[in-house]
Amino acid sequence: MFTYQQIEHYRTFGFVVLRGLFSPQETARLTAEVTSAGA
């Protein structure tokens, strides 16, 4: 669920940062996939 502050941030700036959405392992895998796709 989004907080009031997150909703207001989205309305103002058009994006929301969701810290902790991915684990460090998931982030490393996503980074590796994106890096290899761009090579």
Q: What is the pLDDT of residues 1-39, one digit of tens each?
A: 899 999 999 999 999 999 999 999 999 999 999 999 876
**What pLDDT shows up at residue 34?**
94
Structural domain containing residue 31: 4-38
Q: How many domains does the chain have?
A: 1
Nearest by Cα to 3 from 18, 14, 20, 13:
18
User: Any alpha helices (H) in the chain, and if so which ranges?
Assistant: 4-13, 24-38
**What pLDDT shows up at residue 38?**
79
